Amino acid sequence: VRIAAQLIDAKTGNHLWSERWDRPTEDVFAVQTEIAEQVTNRLGGGVGLIQEAGRAAAKRKRPENLNAYDYYLLGTEKIEKLTIADEEEAITFLNRAVELDPGLARAWVELYHAHALLGVFGVDPESNFKAAAEVAERAVRLDPSDAEAHAVFGMSLADQGDIARAKAEMDTALRLAPGSSE
């Protein structure tokens, strides 16, 4: 069996991604699972093609035209750079995102990452770890079906020494997204 998948940008017609799988016919169900996992991991997540395309579009917009999701995307990009200046800029972008849309749970998740990283980097650790804990809990309250929200809340609880609740949150995250690469 040969299966090919392609991702094409509908607006531009540009080819973004493709993959081909060749497998014996008796492995057809295993191939189906493998394809679903690979496509999901490549398209989704913090470094997936969909998010990369959104970031590029947000960068092309004039600042007065940015919406909450654009600020979220710009913030996530800054987080990945792992410098103090970029984490601080990420917090600025993400705070703007939640100011425009307080219900954007994923922005609260990313705020956790930025605050926690600043704390690890030694930038006002007490304040940043406290902020990380607050935004992680808010993310779970806003979207109890978001596995990453449960994961960051679990990490926050573990940092506070509440291992039993941390484990419960991590178990929930794994139950919600067993194949997640996040």
Query: What kind of architecture, by CATH, is found in domain 50-176?
Result: Alpha Horseshoe (1.25)
- Non-local CB neighbours of 114 within 8 Å, separated by 6+ positions: 75, 78, 79, 87, 88, 90, 91, 94
Task: Say if residue 40's pLDDT is above 90.
Answer: no
**Cα 76–chain centre separation:** 7
Q: What is the DSSP string of 91-126?
A: HHHHHHHHHH-TT-HHHHHHHHHHHHHHHHTTSSHH
Structural domain spans, the chain: 2-43, 50-176
148 residue type, one letter: E
- Mind listing the pLDDT tens digit for each residue in 67-96? 888 899 889 989 889 999 999 999 999 999
Comparison of pLDDT for 59 and 106, the residue scoring more: 106
pLDDT of 58: 43
146 residue type, one letter: D
Least confident of 29-33, 44-48, 139-143: 44-48
Task: Say if residue 33's pLDDT is above 70.
Answer: no
- Mind listing the pLDDT tens digit for each residue in 5-19? 777 767 777 777 777
Give me the mean pLDDT over the 94-104 stretch: 92
φ/ψ (deg, to 5) at 180: -70, 140
Task: Say if residue 157's pLDDT is above 90.
Answer: yes
Nearest CA to 69 out of 85, 89, 53, 47 is that of 53
Query: Residue 142 and residue 122: Cα distance in Å, rounded?
Result: 29
- Non-local CB neighbours of 144 within 8 Å, separated by 6+ positions: 150
Q: What angle do CA 99, 141, 175 make, to 5 degrees?
A: 125
Instruction: Flag whether the pTM goes above 0.75.
Output: no
Least confident of 63-67, 93-97, 143-147: 63-67
The half-sphere exposure of 23 on its side-chain side, counting CA atoms within 13 A, is 15
Give me the mean pLDDT over the 92-110 stretch: 92
Highest mean pLDDT, choosing among 33-47, 50-64, 87-101: 87-101
